Homo-oligomer: A and B are copies of this chain.
Amino acid sequence: MAKTNAGRFFEDYSVGDVLTHAVPRTVGAGERALYHALYPARHALYSSDTFAQACGIAASPLDDMIAFHTVFGKTVPDVSLNAVANLGYAEGRWLKPVWQGDTLTSQSEVIGVKQNSNGKSGVVYVRTTGRNQRDEAVLEYVRWVMVRKGDLDALAPETVVPDLNKVVPAGTLAIPDGLNFENYNFDLAGEPHRWGDYAVGEQIDHVDGVTMEEAEHMMATRLWQNTAKVHFDTSARPDGTRLIYGGHVISMARALSFNGLANAQMVVGLNAGAHANPCLAGDTVRAWSEVLDKAETSAPGVGAIRLRLVATKGGAPFQLRGEDGKYLPEVLLDLDYWALMPM
């Protein structure tokens, strides 16, 4: 009877624990094509081997979000099966491109625990690292979730809240070996706007919208081997809806941002992120961005741009919070990330 995985509860996590997440995953041409079928992804470096090669890269890597979702998905059975809420992300860095044929594994270290005052749940902080078959780290990020207690009588652990950077320092961003945007082809990339054309504070409405479908979000979520019941089973939530995996919204918004940010080619840093409201099938997702910062890099012709990416299911662009300081009900996602762009 105890053969199935009931998931961990708050009292099962201790600072310093290292969780080896199950089921390594080899990704390749199929995941790549499915990504392009599920999202309107058009960033040229991830669409074309020849474009990537002209930028000094051996081939078109798998989308950075394939790396993220694959590494993230493996953590779900160990980290968020009994989670009440996914509270935040920080210190995310993409460290190496993921190539077709790579096998990804995922490991997390518990770096913080804090029981809630209600005694029924607590916040768990983990630093997750994705590695390829050469044991090279390809991605790392911190995530914190609220997890229910299984045994309400379990003693509260000593509170440890990690000291996390609000923003990944631009100087620590990993630039893929060989990346060179000096001969970047703006015609083939789809837009003429370069790093110098974007101003801090500038806002961009990405215009396009996509109406969500159950089959699509479930296929995406399964592809990353994310097992959370609420995404698949109409009986898992009281209202019979299937909650769309927050990462599906991230990928949709990132793909929509092509229209206006076609040259924000590679995602290299994740500073923060909030899934502000639930997304359901039938919602039409739109996106807008705001330029938060810019930085130079050591790679030839390559600049870094820090962007806020907001996904919505209605309402006007550029509206984020109400007078009460809370996210507006139509806001789905507020993501703060670094991308690389030709200078």
Which residues of A line the B interface, CB within 8 A? 1, 3-5, 20, 22-34, 36-42, 44, 47-51, 60, 77, 100-101, 103, 105, 133, 187-191, 193, 197, 204-211, 213-216, 218-220, 222-223, 225, 227, 229, 232-236, 242, 259-262, 284
Residues of B within 8 A of A219 (CB): 37-38, 216
Given known A-B contacts A208-B233, A232-B40, A233-B284, A26 and B3 have beta carbons under 8 A apart: no
Contact check, B208 vs A232: say whether CB atoms are below 8 A apart: yes
Q: How far is the CB of A12 from chain B (nearest CB, A)?
A: 16
Known: A27-B33, A29-B100, A51-B103. 4 other contacts (CB 8 A): A1-B204, A4-B206, A5-B259, A209-B235
State whether A60 and B233 are in contact (beta carbons under 8 Å apart), knowing that A103-B49, A225-B47 are contacts in the complex. no
Tell me if B5 and A191 are in contact (CB < 8 A). Answer: yes
Residues of chain B lying within 8 A (CB to CB) of residue A215: 213-216
Contact across chains for B4 and A204 when beta carbons are under 8 A apart: yes
A-B contact pairs, 29 of them (CB 8 A): A3-B260, A3-B261, A4-B259, A22-B44, A23-B189, A24-B51, A27-B33, A28-B29, A29-B30, A33-B34, A34-B37, A36-B222, A37-B220, A37-B222, A38-B222, A40-B222, A41-B222, A47-B225, A49-B133, A50-B103, A50-B133, A77-B190, A105-B188, A210-B218, A211-B214, A211-B242, A213-B215, A214-B215, A233-B284
CB distance from A188 to the nearest CB of B (A): 6
A4: which of B60, B103, B214, B260 is its contact (CB, 8 Å)?
A: B260
Cα(A32)–Cα(B220), bound, Å: 14
Contact assessment for B3 and A204 in the assembled complex, using a CB-CB cutoff below 8 Å: yes
Contact of A23 among B39, B42, B207 (CB under 8 A): B42
Task: Identify which of A30, A38, A225, A229 gathers the most chain B CB atoms within 10 Å of its CB.
Answer: A30
**How near does chain B come to A285, taking the closest CB pair, in angstroms?**
9
Residues A232 and B211 in contact in the complex (CB < 8 Å), given A30-B32, A33-B30, A205-B4? yes
List 9 A-B pairs, minimum CB-CB distance, nearest first.
A30-B33, A22-B190, A24-B48, A215-B215, A209-B233, A3-B260, A29-B29, A37-B219, A213-B215
Say yes or no: B207 contacts A22, CB within 8 Å. no
